[in-house]
Amino acid sequence: MEDIKATSVFVSSIFEEPPKQWGLRGDPYLWEEMKNEFSTVPVKISLEDFEKRFKEIFEKLTGAPLTRECHVFVSKYAQGGMSGGQICGEFWIDKALPLLLARLKEGVNI
C-alpha cells in the first residue's frame, strides 16, 4: 500500500510562500499553525469548504471568530515587540484569505 502523503498534494502547499507584509507580529506564527492544520487536507477541497474550514481553524487557534475588527492576543505567539502575539483580523480577511483562495483556485505553489 502506497503512503498517502507520497501520492497526494495537501492544502498546506498554498502556505509555502508567506505574504510579503503582515498585519501584526503574531500573524506569521498563526500562518505557520494554519499551514500545519491544513497539512492533511487534500488540495481537491472546494473554495467554499476551504474558506469555511479556514475560519473554523482561525477561531480554534485564536479563540476569536474571524472578523475584520478582530484584534486578539495569543500568548503563544508573543515573541516580543509592541504587537507581539497580536493577530489582525483585517489582515486575514483582506490579504491572507484572498491570497490563499487565489492560490488554491489557480494551483499556484501546488
pLDDT band at 107 (very low <50, low <70, confident <90, very high): confident
Tens digits of residue pLDDT in 26-53: 999 999 999 999 999 998 899 999 999 9
* Alpha helices by DSSP H, 8-108: 27-37, 47-62, 89-91, 97-106
The rounded distance, in Å, linking the Cα atoms of 3 and 52 is 28
Q: Cell digits for 47?
A: 473554495
Which residues lie below 8 Å from residue 5, measured CB to CB, with a gap of 6+?
none
Could you state, in order of their start, the residue ranges of all structural domains in the chain?
Answer: 9-105
The rounded distance, in Å, linking the Cα atoms of 4 and 64 is 33
pTM of the model: 0.87
The rounded distance, in Å, linking the Cα atoms of 89 and 101 is 16
